[in-house]
Amino acid sequence: MITIKRIISLFLCACFLTFFTACAGNKNNFKETSETSNDNADTEISLKEYADISNLILRPDTYTLNVKDLNLPTENIFIENERMTGFDYILLSGVCGTLSVYKNGGTVSSLLFSGTPFNDENEFSTALDEVNSDIADRCGMEIAEPVFTFKGEKTDEVKMIFDGTGIVSYKYDTEKLKINIRGCGVNGEAAIMVEASPIN
C-alpha cells in the first residue's frame, strides 16, 4: 500500500526526470570519449574530468563547510541562489549526474545527487546495485535491504520503477549522517538519487 509520502516521492521523481530530460534536450549532442564507459553519461568530456563526490558526500565535516570549501569546479555551477547551489558533471560511485548543495546560512545542510536517467533496465539495475554496495562499503556497514513501494498491483519491480508506479529505496544511518538511496522513474526512464544530511 502506498502512502501519501511515497506518492509525493513519485511525483518529485517524475518532476526531476522531466526537468532533466528538458535540460538535456537543450544541449548539443555529445559523445563520450573516456575509455571507461558510463551509458548514463551523455557528454564529450572524459569521466576523469567529472568531479567525484563519492567520499565528499559521506564525510561528516562536509556539512560544516561553505560551498566554496567543497573544492568543486566553479565552472560546473549551473544554478546558484541563497538556499542552493547546483553542480553539473558530478560522479558518484561510477554514476554521472548533478549535485544540489542545500545551504543554511551559507553552510552546507544537505546534499542531493541526481543521476542522469537510464533508459535500459539492466544498466539501471547494475548501477543501482553498485551505488548501494559502494556506499555501504564506504560507511563500513552491511548492504541495506531494499524497500519497494508501489501503487496498483505489484508486478516486475524494475518495470514498475521505469513506468513511475514504484520506488526502491535503501537507508543508511551512520553515527553522524543519514543517507537515503532511491531508484525512481517515469515514462520509460529511471534515475538513481542519493541524499545525505547530518543527524542533528
Closest CA to 100 of 113, 89, 83: 113
- Phi and psi for 71 in degrees, rounded to 5? 60, 35
Residue 51 is predicted with a pLDDT of 95
Question: Is residue 94 over pLDDT 70?
Answer: yes
- Phi and psi for 56 in degrees, rounded to 5? -55, -45
Q: What are the pLDDT digits (tens) for 131-174?
A: 999 999 999 999 999 999 998 888 999 999 999 999 999 999 99
Q: What are the pLDDT digits (tens) for 12-63?
A: 454 444 444 443 333 333 223 233 334 555 545 566 589 999 999 999 999 9
Residue 11 is predicted with a pLDDT of 45
C-alpha cell at position 88? 553539473
Question: Is residue 85 over pLDDT 60?
Answer: yes
Q: What are the pLDDT digits (tens) for 167-185?
A: 999 999 999 999 999 999 9
Mean pLDDT over the full length of the chain: 83
Closest CA to 17 of 163, 171, 170: 163
Indicate the pLDDT class of residue 76, thresholds 50, 70 and 90: very high
The pairing of beta strand 95-104 with beta strand 107-115: antiparallel
Residue 47 is predicted with a pLDDT of 62
Residue 56 DSSP SS3: helix
Is 115 within 8 Å of 97 (Cβ atoms)? yes
Residue 3 is predicted with a pLDDT of 45
Residues 6+ apart with CB under 8 A from 39: 118, 120, 123
